[in-house]
Amino acid sequence: MTTFKVILEYDGSRYHGWQEQKNARSVMGELRKAAEEAFGAKVEMQGSGRTDAGVHALAQVAHLKVATDARQSAEVLARRLNDLLPADIVVTSIERVARNFHARHDATNRVYIYQISTRKQAFRKRYVWWIKDELNLETMRRAAALLAGRHDFICFRAADAARPDESTIVVVEKAEIEVRDDIILIRIEASHFLWRMVRRVVGVLVKVGTGEIREPDFRKLLDGRCDPKLDVAAWTAPAAGLFLEQVRYGK
């Protein structure tokens, strides 16, 4: 058995998320087809985490386990996989690793970024959320700072049939907001993320920025005290602006 660690970037616009599905096109499904053709054998694979339909990745990590002794160099394998993959999925790195390496279980933290545009975009509209309203960045930054620490994100998760018993407790290492010209960049690093958690956090932060909800309301949601008057699900940010930026391993 040979195990490979693969790092990929992809534009999720045309895919129904990372995870393989019977009746929908997925990033993992495309990677499996390419890998099994490249190796000429069945491949066991797993990603570091699931990205939703329409969500992108700058550095998704996956492991590939092949029963045969794959002798090709990493450079040749990367070139072969990229020749077989669609243009919007790219292997940026591949390396042989320990047989027991697991892309999801061995990951310690994930980092997501969300891009908000303060103006209409002609070329980047598939990768941003255009907010026409004026946003109070200082208020948003104060709210984002509250995310750091251990919180119950039950108010921010979507019901996940695949993981009905998943704990809603998440440890957020940090959450930052920076501005790059006409882009507001929200970066959140955590041990893991619940389904649609980041998009809902971003949606609520935008409501804080427009003044539609106050900081005490945000604190209440972070305490796991969901309020029917705060329609978090309806405020879910579009998938287009979300990117898996990095997956960390080790301390």
CA distance 83 to 7: 16
Angle of helix 137-145 versus helix 197-210 axis, rounded to 10: 140
DSSP per residue over 45-69, as a string?
A: EEESS---TT-EEEEEEEEEEESS-
Q: How many CA atoms lie within 13 A of 92 on its CB side?
A: 11
Choosing from 52, 152, 217, 223, the catalytic residue is 52
First vs last Cα of the chain: how many Å apart? 27
Q: Find residue 149's DSSP bridge partners.
A: 172
Catalytic, 52? Answer yes
Strands (E), 39-181: 43-47, 56-66, 89-97, 107-117, 129-130, 149-152, 169-180
CA distance 86 to 244: 19
**Cβ count within 10 A of residue 218:** 23
Pairing of strands 56-66, 242-249: parallel
**Cβ count within 10 A of residue 67:** 12
Q: Determine the residue type at 136.
A: N
Residues identified as active-site: 52
